[in-house]
Every structure is written in structure tokens, then in C-alpha cells.
Chains A and B, each alone.
Chain A
Amino acid sequence: MTQAAASVDEGDPRLRRFEARIAAGEKIEPGDWMPDEYRRQLIRMISQHAHSEVVGMLPEGAWITRAPSLRRKLVLIAKVQDEAGHGQYLYHAAETLGADRDELEQALLTGRAKYSSVFNYPTLTWADVGMIGWLVDGAAIKNQLMLAQCSYGPYSRAMVRICSEETFHHKQGKEMVIAYAQGTPAQRRMAQDALDRWWWPAVMMLGPHDSDSPNTPLLVRWGIKTKTNDQVRQEFIDEHAPELMEAGLRIPDPDLRYDEETGHWVHGPIDWDEFWRVVKGDGPCNVERLAARNKAHAEGAWVRAALEAYAARRPEAVEA
């Protein structure tokens, strides 16, 4: 975790006007004045988010050829295709801030860029596909509904579009897990095993506790985030814990309890050592994920070259 090198000139009158606009609920658009730190934080967040969508295709994409029915295959193909599209929306939002797409892509391929820790876990059974939809997409939607309120127009709009599509991802996963949880003993064991492995990665993917999240106060001040990591995590657990239990599954947190006073679910301690290990490259699948992205990029090189060659020979291009 790098400490936020927040260089904000508090005396700048443009900063006061910028913050007044955000306080009034206006969106900041490309071309408007913004602090350098606002731009830097947004490029950091949006590019990590874009990379997460792209890498997020891999764990589930691995199961497309092994889907148990044609319907499930169609659903999974559509979901993975959506994740590719979501990456495109987000790279676009980063480009409106002056980021260069080739540089972002290189940062991902060379391992310099971060992406969501959760995609470095393996998908061992078909039930994992359902559990990812219910829990990982469920957690992502909580975060993305918050980011849809973001003060930066292009990021906010990308989030609104993504949320409207991603609700399907969440629901298809929930439908699948509930079917398994009510199925044969073997199916119930698969669903429980998937929950045992995905619960904590999903809880962790919403990021470090607020006390260990140095960027958060500035992000909240500028309306980039409108809730903290712990607030979003609470929303996620409050929705999902009772529904998983209702489905007959056991959540692998012995300390999890409902607090009558607050009306919230209270979770046990999170293994942040594991989280940081995975973020920093030492998760179960980090090497495999990067290798898969690099292979796809290298194997697509001839397609990109052919497109450029074709474009250069178009009559309009030759005239110009």
C-alpha cells in the first residue's frame, strides 16, 4: 500500500469552486478544472477497475466449455462477454482523464498494475461459477452502486451502465447456487464447498478497513467515493449473510452474528495477511492470470497488425 502523496493546494480559489460544485451535486466533466490529485486518484482507481473486469473474465471463462447445459453455457458466455465490455467502458473513462490505453495495458501485462485480489483464486468446480455470480458480483455491485454517485461524470456513467447489466450476473449466480443448495447431497456439498472458499475472498475484495485505507478521506471529500470500504462491506454482508443461510448454507465465519441493537451483521476478524499476499502477487493464481493475459495479447498481435495494414490501404487513408 503506498501512502497517498496528497499534494493539495488548499489556498487555491479554483479548489474552493471545484469543491462547491461537488457539494452542489454537479458532475465534473472532461475539460473542467480539477486538482491534479483528483485526476491521479481517478486514473489509479478506474484503471485498476478496468483491469479487474478484464482479468475477471478468466476464472469463469475457464468453465464455458464445461457448462452443464446449453442454457448455462449461453448465460456464462453472455456474462464473460459483459465483463469484456465493462473493461472497455472503464478504459474509456480513464482515457477522458488523459490516460493512454496502451500504457494501461502494458502496466497490466507487465504486472505493474493492480487488479481485484479476488480473481487470483481458482475456480475448482462448476458451483464456483454460481458462487462468483452471487458473492463476487454481489460485492462488486454494492461497490459500483456507490461509485455510480461519483463526482466524475464519465466514471459515474460507466458505473450506471455496468450496474444495469451486472444485476443479471448476480441473479443468475444466486439462482444457480440456490438450485444446488436444494439439490442432491452431492450438489449441496458442492455449493457449501464453493461458499467455504469464496466467502472470505468476497468479503476482502471490498478493500482494507477504513483505518488502513489512507486514500479514503480524500476520495470521500471529493465525492469519488461516497461510502467507505467498511460501509460497503457492511451492506454486502447484511444482504448476503441472511440469504445464504436461508438457502441452507453455512457461512465459514464462526463469529458471524446478527446484532439486534444496530440491525447489522457482525463479522469475525479478516485475514489481512492473506489479502496483502494475494494483492502483492502471491495468491494461488496470480502467475497464471498474467500468463493468460500475455498469451492472449501475443496471440492477437497478428490481428491488430492486419487491421492497421488494412486501414492504411483504404483509399481515404492513401489520399491523406
Chain B
Amino acid sequence: MRWEVFKQDAPGKPHQAVGSVHGADPEHALLNARHVFGRRPAAVSVWVVPADRVLARTAEELAAEGPPRAAGGDAGQARRFHVFRKSSHRRSMTFVDHVGDVDAVSHEAALAAAIAADGPEPALAWWVVAADDVTRSDPEDAPSWFEPARDKTYKQQSAYGTVTPRRERGAAP
């Protein structure tokens, strides 16, 4: 089973989509997410969500399909949804960022509400995730899960900064 992974680099920063892992259950997925995406600073929290529980729409899909419509008229209770947005084509190692939460009756209704409340700059892609589909790392585990990466300075290229036997360009070999 595949799980989307969201990593938070520092308190106050958004959780960002960094990729996916496989896992047999939420706990396994969370551990794999920590092993795969927490080898380097900085991380303070990871979330995992079953990949098939993410509503994803690119700008191109929304332009072709029109605004999202809730399937099957589920007039049930409103739930909390996390909304993620991609805002730029700039070179990046992350995809969509957590930009806010919406209470809605479905993923589609949450996306419609997010688009309605969005600013003038068009989003490049949206993801919507139900808050109760998210498995989150325990803040109590954060020191043992994430802090050791900070001290492993031998993994940082800056630890090798002085190594350059560089010859003047064009000098004879």
C-alpha cells in the first residue's frame, strides 16, 4: 500500500508533500517516511496519508473539468480537511504545501471552498486530505526521530568544504 508523505521542516512552517512510501499499516508507513525523508535536517514532524485518499487536481485538470462537484450528494456532517497548494514552477524538492484547513462534507466540497477563497494568483495544483486520514508523528518522538540528523555532520557537504585541488584554468597538465 502506498502512502503520501508530508514533512514539516520547522515549527510554524507548512507540512509539504515530499514523496511517497509503501507501508503495510499507518505505523509502518510513518516509520518508513521517517527513515526515507528524515535522514537529513531539518524535520520536526511527518504525516502519512493513504495515496488513494488524496483528492489531487492540477490547474489543467480543473480547466478541463470545471469546478469540483461533490459526488453522490452526501449531505452528511462536515469534517475537517487539510488543503495543499502548489504555487510556483520554481526548482524545488517539494510539491504542494499545506495552506489551510476547511470544514466540508466531502473532499470535492473542501476543494471548491478552497478555490472560492483563493487569491488572484492561480494555483498550479491542489491536494485535499481528510484530517482523520492523516497519521502524524508523535511530538514526544520528535527528539529521537529527527534530532540525531543534526549531529551527523559527516553527512553534510559543508564538512568537506576545503577539498579542492583546483589548477588554474588552462594551465598545462
Q: Write the residues of chain A forming the contact surface with B, with a CB cutoff of 8 angstroms.
A: 25-27, 29-33, 71, 74-75, 78, 81-82, 85, 88-89, 92-93, 95, 101, 148-149, 153-154, 156-158, 160-161, 164-165, 167-168, 170-172, 174-175, 178, 241-243, 245-247, 257-258, 260, 263, 307-308, 310-311, 314, 317
B45 to chain A, nearest CB (A): 18
Residue B78 is within 8 A (CB to CB) of chain A in the complex: no
- A151 to B160 CA separation, bound complex (whole angstroms): 32
- Known A-B contacts A95-B2, A157-B95; the reply to A168 vs B170 at CB < 8 A is no
Size class of B's contact patch? Answer: 35 or more
- A308 to B36 CA separation, bound complex (whole angstroms): 20
Residue of B nearest to A96 (CB): B20
- Known A-B contacts A168-B157, A174-B160; the reply to A31 vs B60 at CB < 8 A is yes
Residue B57 is within 8 A (CB to CB) of chain A in the complex: yes
Interface string of B49-80 (1 = CB under 8 A from A): 00000001110110000000000000000000
- Known A-B contacts A85-B36, A95-B20, A243-B166; the reply to A175 vs B160 at CB < 8 A is yes
Q: Chain A residues with Cβ under 8 A from B19's Cβ?
A: 88-89, 92-93, 154, 157-158
B111 to chain A, nearest CB (A): 13
Please determine whether B163 and A245 come into contact, CB atoms closer than 8 angstroms: no
- A311 to B94 CA separation, bound complex (whole angstroms): 29
- Known A-B contacts A157-B94, A175-B163; the reply to A31 vs B24 at CB < 8 A is no
Q: Which of B85-93, B99-107, B112-120 contacts A (4 or more CB under 8 A)?
A: B85-93
Please determine whether A171 and B160 come into contact, CB atoms closer than 8 angstroms: yes
Please determine whether A161 and B93 come into contact, CB atoms closer than 8 angstroms: yes
* Contacting residue for A32 out of B58, B91, B154, CB 8 A: B58
Residue of A nearest to B17 (CB): A157
Residue of B nearest to A172 (CB): B160
B98 to chain A, nearest CB (A): 17
Please determine whether B157 and A171 come into contact, CB atoms closer than 8 angstroms: yes
Residue of A nearest to B2 (CB): A95
Please determine whether B93 and A160 come into contact, CB atoms closer than 8 angstroms: yes
Q: Chain B residues with Cβ under 8 A from A31's Cβ?
A: 56-58, 60-61, 125
- A243 to B171 CA separation, bound complex (whole angstroms): 12
- A25 to B90 CA separation, bound complex (whole angstroms): 9
- A29 to B171 CA separation, bound complex (whole angstroms): 46
- A258 to B165 CA separation, bound complex (whole angstroms): 17
Please determine whether B165 and A246 come into contact, CB atoms closer than 8 angstroms: yes
- A260 to B170 CA separation, bound complex (whole angstroms): 7
Please determine whether A157 and B93 come into contact, CB atoms closer than 8 angstroms: yes
- A157 to B20 CA separation, bound complex (whole angstroms): 12
Please determine whether B28 and A311 come into contact, CB atoms closer than 8 angstroms: yes
Please determine whether A88 and B24 come into contact, CB atoms closer than 8 angstroms: no
A264 to chain B, nearest CB (A): 11
Please determine whether B21 and A156 come into contact, CB atoms closer than 8 angstroms: no
- Known A-B contacts A25-B89, A258-B172, A263-B170; the reply to A317 vs B160 at CB < 8 A is no
Given contacts A31-B58, A78-B154, A157-B93, 4 further A-B contacts (CB under 8 A): A85-B36, A89-B19, A156-B91, A247-B165
* Contacting residue for B56 out of A30, A168, A174, A242, CB 8 A: A30
Please determine whether A307 and B93 come into contact, CB atoms closer than 8 angstroms: no
Residue B139 is within 8 A (CB to CB) of chain A in the complex: no
- Known A-B contacts A75-B154, A157-B95, A160-B93; the reply to A242 vs B167 at CB < 8 A is yes
Q: Chain B residues with Cβ under 8 A from A175's Cβ?
A: 160, 163
Residue of A nearest to B161 (CB): A171
- Known A-B contacts A29-B125, A167-B157, A168-B155; the reply to A317 vs B93 at CB < 8 A is no
